[in-house]
Chains A and B, each alone.
Chain A
Amino acid sequence: MSDEERREPGKEDQAGAEKDAAAPPDAAASAETENVSIEATVEKIEMVADEATPEETTAEEPEGIRAAYEHPLAIRITHWVNAISLFVMITSGLRIFRAFPSFGPKIPEKVLLDIPKSLTLGGWLGGALQWHFTFMWLFAASGTFYVAYQLISGHYRTLLFTPRDILGVWPMVRHYFFFGPKPPATGQYNSLQKLAYTSTIGLGALSLLTGIVLYKPVQFSWLAFLFGGFHLTRIWHFAAMCGFLAFIPGHLIMVAVHGWQNFYSMLVGWKRDPEYQE
């Protein structure tokens, strides 16, 4: 099929941004809901002339590979910058925490958690602070750009958890943890994924805002006040990290379970033969 240049007008389409992307023939053929332009009509006639029915078109095209451009470049870059930053922030943060591993008073000091040195980055408090004070900028910049991009591009609709997703969470949990049947894939992300990804954006915002308070509690006294003061903010900051530590293993396990093509799509954007239909 010579549909290299064909576009579906008005339809939201990440692949549409790609010059070389070919539009799916069956979708184009059933574009009755769109304003049928002369161009589209001509194309339709051509198709009818070429092939008998759209169904047969699909069947007669064994070389065509189903693919979806899931992750735009901006998302992929910010994903990996965030992944690296988060790794540095957590490991150096744990080293900083070792200097005073408590949320109580200094006198008497009760060690809440003795974090092994081997899990930390920086070597000593000063070294860990250097890593933390460097990567906090990367983390903040990448996170802010990511959220801005999601909002402006409208891409956030694929992953924002909304009230409509509430009912979809339990079937996914039942599937993953209790051997329940697999719910049909309806879009790029299922409801549980949307919940997880939306939560991490919340955690990122929490760690960034509480981090600002811990870094400059006097200059940002109003923000410190919102979090209940300097002392409590330190707990919030730690809690945000715990949230990430809950998310990351689950995320990595899911990536491992879903195989190379799924992982590869976060590198190249394209997902080969996605589970969902459109």
Chain B
Amino acid sequence: MVTRLDDKGLKRQSRRQLLKLAPVAALGVFAAPGLNDRLVMAGVHFSDWAAGVLFRKQHLAQTFPDSEVVPFAKFPYNYYDVVDPGVDLENWTLTVEGDVQRPGEYTLAQIQALPKIRQNTRHVCVEGWDVIGSFGGVRISDFLKLIGANTSARFLEVTCVDDYYEVLDMESVLHPQSLLCYEMYDRPLDRGHGAPLRLQMPTKLGYKQAKYLDTFRVANVLTPGKTGYWEDQGYSWFGGL
């Protein structure tokens, strides 16, 4: 719609309209060094909050027939330090602590006595790759019952033989597909994949699924600087799918 204005009027209009655009300039704070890293971390925390809200407790991740599972040799070994931290498989026990009625040392046999679940699910890495693998183990929720855990606690902290550590939200831990995994491809977990016991959760990214489990702690507080190995360096804490 073409109209006619005198030069002054047009300039006045233009100035006024330019000022109204000022709020956009506020985004310039993201260019400020020292400030922008805190701002984007706030963005990650907001995303994690939203992810927690979006999480559907009973919604199952897709499972696949055996024909769609990648060959064992094509399931990547991912680790942060060494592929084999030299776990003493003979004398291994899982140490249980925190808000539980029966803390102590649990053997693999005690864990394997719980109902076994076998599932073919997609393993998604934060890097972007994904593989469909075959996993066997017990529901974490069953194990939490065994140890008498307070499942209204907010977090599960795990530490690993290789000093890796993770903290998970209780809702995801209680998901029916969240496993304490001791088998892959119907064989005992090999050392590179986290023998003797790892987390396997198709609702979480790979880095949340800690391997070579050592201790298991039910907690209510998320300690800053102790939120997870990669999380403490800037990854999303929720890391959910």
Please pick, from B7, B21, B203, the residue contacting A80 in the complex, using a CB distance under 8 A.
B21
Nearest chain B CB to A185 CB, angstrom units: 11
| B13 close to A270 (CB less than 8 A) | yes
Given A100-B127, A218-B61: A134 and B3 interface contact (C-beta under 8 Å): no
**Binary contact track A127-141/B, C-beta < 8 Å → 1, others 0:** 101110111111000
**Docked complex Cα distance between A100 and B10 (Å):** 53
| A130 close to B127 (CB less than 8 A) | no
The chain A residue sitting closest to B122, CB to CB, is: A230
| A24 close to B2 (CB less than 8 A) | yes
Q: How large is the interface on B (under 10, 10 to 19, 20 to 34, 35 or more residues)?
A: 35 or more
- Residues from 51 to 83 in A contacting B, C-beta threshold 8 Å: 61, 63-69, 73, 76-77, 80-81
**Binary contact track A106-120/B, C-beta < 8 Å → 1, others 0:** 110100000000000
| B3 close to A234 (CB less than 8 A) | no
Interface check B235, CB cutoff 8 A: yes
Interface check B146, CB cutoff 8 A: no
| A64 close to B4 (CB less than 8 A) | yes
Nearest chain B CB to A84 CB, angstrom units: 5
Given A100-B128, A106-B129: A268 and B17 interface contact (C-beta under 8 Å): yes
Interface stretch, picked from B49-57, B134-142, B215-223, is B49-57
**Docked complex Cα distance between A114 and B183 (Å):** 36
Interface stretch, picked from A15-23, A31-39, A202-210, is A15-23
**Docked complex Cα distance between A138 and B70 (Å):** 38
The chain A residue sitting closest to B235, CB to CB, is: A126
Contacts of A69 in B (CB 8 A): 1, 3
Interface check A162, CB cutoff 8 A: no
**Binary contact track B199-215/A, C-beta < 8 Å → 1, others 0:** 00011000000000000
B residues lining the A interface (CB < 8 Å)? 1-7, 9-10, 12-15, 17-18, 20-21, 23-24, 27, 30, 37, 39-44, 46-47, 51, 54-56, 59, 61-62, 70, 73-76, 122, 124-131, 202-203, 230, 233-236, 240-241
Q: A24-B2, A64-B6, A65-B6 are in contact. List 15 more A-B contacts (CB 8 A).
A: A18-B13, A20-B12, A68-B1, A77-B23, A84-B27, A97-B128, A105-B131, A129-B44, A129-B234, A134-B47, A219-B56, A230-B124, A230-B130, A231-B130, A234-B128
A-B contact pairs, 18 of them (CB 8 A): A24-B2, A67-B3, A67-B5, A67-B10, A68-B3, A100-B125, A105-B129, A106-B129, A109-B129, A134-B44, A136-B47, A216-B241, A217-B124, A219-B56, A267-B17, A268-B13, A270-B14, A272-B10
User: What 9 pairs across the A-B complex have the smallest Cβ distances?
Assistant: A134-B43, A64-B4, A126-B234, A130-B40, A100-B128, A99-B127, A268-B14, A106-B129, A100-B127
